[in-house]
Amino acid sequence: MPKTKVNKKGKSNKSSSNFLRVYAVLFLTATVGLALLSKFSPVFNQIKQNSQVLQSSTGNVYPEHFYVMDNSGSISSDRLKIEKSATNYLIDKIVPPRGGVYKFTNVASLLANLTTNRTTLHNAAKSLKVADGGARDFKLAINVAVDKLLSQNAVCPAIVILSDGKYSTEQVRTDALAAAANARSKGVAIYGIAAKPRSQHDSDFIKDLAKGNCAGSPHCGEFQILTGTNIGTKLNTIISHMSSRCTKKFTFEKTLKLYRDGPISEPPNDQGYPGDRALYKVPFTNTDTTDLLNISITDTIPSFMTYLPGSAKLYYSNGTITQLYPVNNVITANVGNVSPANWARLEFVTLINSDVPNGYVITNKATVTGSNISKVDAISPAITIVR
């Protein structure tokens, strides 16, 4: 029995020894394989892949607009009060309130240029007084406001015209409707507010300025009659229309991947080291039904990072690739117009500098702008330096 026990113990020791030899061989093979894979595969040490997606549709976008207020002699004090109440309500509710104020009779006068300062806008509307004489030129007022909007590259431009709708001759009406149609052809919507109109004929005129012969147009406006009651409820209809017209749908995203050379174990996903390469991708996709115009993406190289020469490129969904060159550490990608379902993507690589302090947090922000979208930022995930 003792001999038998000794033999069993010897077999057990021999089995353990063989297991250790096999384990050692496997460990050595794995270590060598990992080192070779790290050396020859640029994607082996990818240590982070994340993104932050921001869309214009996450919040309401409203038009940059002018309130065009009729203060001619036929506007009685109660009608002017309605115009002022309506203007002040819209100034308070539209965010951001980037608007301006014109008054008009037979001439049009600028009371406040485009601004986001609510006090300035309120003061401009408050200053309005009824003028002497009843003549008014709707065509002139519309054309002046349209030219001012377009000259300032207003986003989703619009005019809110406030009047009792009274006009002197049929020619005045015809010219005004032509001016409204011309405004829509240039991408400017007209919203009509009839302040206590004296007749159906007058209210129909303001309605036609906003909605006449524009079925199917993305720049067709909205119309309301105000008599002094339920102003907020009626104006909310206009505000809702503004939002649905102006909120262009797109995705704007920023992704980050870190790459590292050398046979090291993979660190946590939120840590970076000197010498790591950071590949940034910034895609912009039009998910709307209309063209997004004059799209431009800008990105500034973060502190403690160095741009890798030749890495900045702009890719288009049609297969076109454009080489880009940073100026003063700022990469600008002038994308141009992006039609529905198409995209453009900015890509570039930076290196984490050797002098980056331990614990320093690197973030990177890209910004997209356009003629008919609001400015939106996309921020990459943070990299914390661990030395």
Do 201 and 319 lie in one domain? The reply is no
Tell me if 290 is assigned to some domain.
yes
Which residue shows structure tokens 């661990």?
Answer: 386
Tell me if 127 is assigned to some domain.
yes
Contact of 80 with 127, CB cutoff 8 Å: no
Do 222 and 116 lie in one domain? The reply is yes
pTM over cut 0.95: no
Tell me if 11 is assigned to some domain.
no
Domain count, the chain: 2
- Report the SS3 class of residue 28: helix
Do 153 and 274 lie in one domain? The reply is no
Could you tell me where the DSSP H helices lie in 128-216? 138-151, 170-185, 200-211
Full strand arrangement of the beta sheet holding 189-195: 108-115, 99-104, 65-70, 158-163, 189-195, 223-226
Please enumerate in sequence order all residues whose Cβ is within 8 A of that of 249, keeping only pairs 6 or more positions apart, or say none.
55, 56, 57, 286, 287, 288
292 vs 123: CA distance, rounded Å: 35
Q: Which domain holds residue 261?
A: 42-57+249-385
- Report the SS3 class of residue 349: strand
Do 190 and 260 lie in one domain? The reply is no
Read off the CATH number of the domain in which 220 is found: 3.40.50.410
Query: Which residues are registered as beta bridge partners of 251?
Result: 55, 285
Residue among 264, 283, 278, 258 at smallest CA distance from 338:
283
Q: What is the percentage of the chain residues whose pLDDT exceeds 70?
A: 80
Do 53 and 68 lie in one domain? The reply is no
Do 88 and 194 lie in one domain? The reply is yes
Read off the CATH number of the domain in which 262 is found: 2.60.40.740
Q: Write down which residue in 246, 261, 288 finishes a domain.
A: 246
Tell me if 309 is assigned to some domain.
yes
Q: What are phi and psi of 199, to 5 degrees?
A: -150, 165
Do 320 and 184 lie in one domain? The reply is no
pLDDT tens by residue, the chain, 387 residues: 444 343 444 444 444 455 445 444 444 444 444 343 333 333 334 433 444 444 333 345 668 899 999 999 889 999 999 999 999 999 999 866 689 999 999 999 999 999 989 999 999 999 999 998 767 899 999 999 999 999 987 878 999 999 999 998 999 999 999 999 999 989 899 999 999 999 999 999 999 999 988 877 888 999 999 998 889 999 999 998 988 887 767 888 888 888 887 655 455 557 899 999 999 999 999 988 778 889 999 999 999 999 999 999 999 999 999 999 999 999 999 999 999 999 999 999 999 999 999 999 999 999 998 877 767 888 888 899 988
Contact of 370 with 296, CB cutoff 8 Å: yes
Do 204 and 281 lie in one domain? The reply is no
